[in-house]
Amino acid sequence: MISPLAYVHPEAQIGKDCEIGPFCYIDKDVVIGERNTLMNSVTLLSGTRMGDDNTVFPGAVIGAIPQDLKFKGEYTTAEIGSRNKIRENVTINRGTAAKGKTVVGSDNLLMEGCHVAHDVIVGNGCIIGNTTKLAGEVVVDDFAILSACVLVHQFCHVGSYVMVGGGSRTAQDIPPFVMAAREPIAYCGLNVVGLRRRQFAPETIEHIHNAYRILYQHGKLLADRLKEIEQNVPMIPEVKYILDFVSSSQRGFIN
């Protein structure tokens, strides 16, 4: 099921039952699993690793060298999990010496024209909207939704179950479970609809909500707010995740 108009390097490793359309280019040192579908004009360059059951649409380029002047040709990879849909003209670059690899997990939808830069880590079950750009070493946790035309600055961390409004840009971390939008980007409340769709229990949503009520109080030091959360909100895993996320933030989090 490899088109005679496709180029597949003899050293590339292709799993069973893959479909490779015309004008695809698969370089040496590419390893892909089973039942992947590469539509026409897909490019997989050296260092690409891919799991099973992915669908890659025309014009996508995976494994290109980083757009980073510090890159000196070191051996790195771009690693894709399973069951992803990678739409037209998506670009996913290899890692650099910083982390050695760019990682996209499983069950993600990367819409048309989005860019995943060097050393980015995208979790599982995420939706990355049309033309959204993730700069180098960004981390996106599981089940995050970034709408169209979102710009995420280098080194930022986006938490799980967030909803980021279209056209937003952030140079700070976005904590888990929230909605973020406006210009400049800001906390817009809890992503209640998303949490309910993911079958979070009402009491869990209430505990998360109470944690954010305290976290976004003005006039108190951050350390005091975190301590107040610890003292007044049940320390369920979701609340602990919020505290750990905020405490470890290197760029600060959105207001």
pLDDT, position 199: 97
Segment 16-27 shows an average pLDDT of 98
Catalytic choice (119, 123, 157, 173): 119
- List, for residues 56-82, the tens digit of each pLDDT value: 999 999 999 999 999 999 999 999 999
Catalytic choice (68, 113, 115, 118): 118
Q: Is 207 noted as a catalytic residue in this protein? A: no
Query: Distance between CA atoms of 201 and 141, rounded to whole angstroms?
Result: 20
Token digits of residue 251: 């760029």
Q: Which of 99, 103, 104 is nearest to 74 (CA)?
A: 99
| Element containing residue 243 per DSSP (H, E) | helix 237-247
Domains of the chain: 7-140 (2.160.10.10), 195-247 (1.20.1180.10)
Catalytic choice (136, 159, 165, 194): 136
Question: Exposed (0-12), middle (13-18) or buried (19+): which is 97, by Cβ within 10 Å?
Answer: middle
- List, for residues 78-121, the tens digit of each pLDDT value: 999 999 999 999 999 999 999 999 999 999 999 999 999 999 99
Query: Distance between CA atoms of 249 and 254, rounded to whole angstroms?
Result: 11
Q: Is 136 noted as a catalytic residue in this protein? A: yes
pLDDT band at 219 (very low <50, low <70, confident <90, very high): confident
pTM across the whole model: 0.96
Average pLDDT in the chain: 97
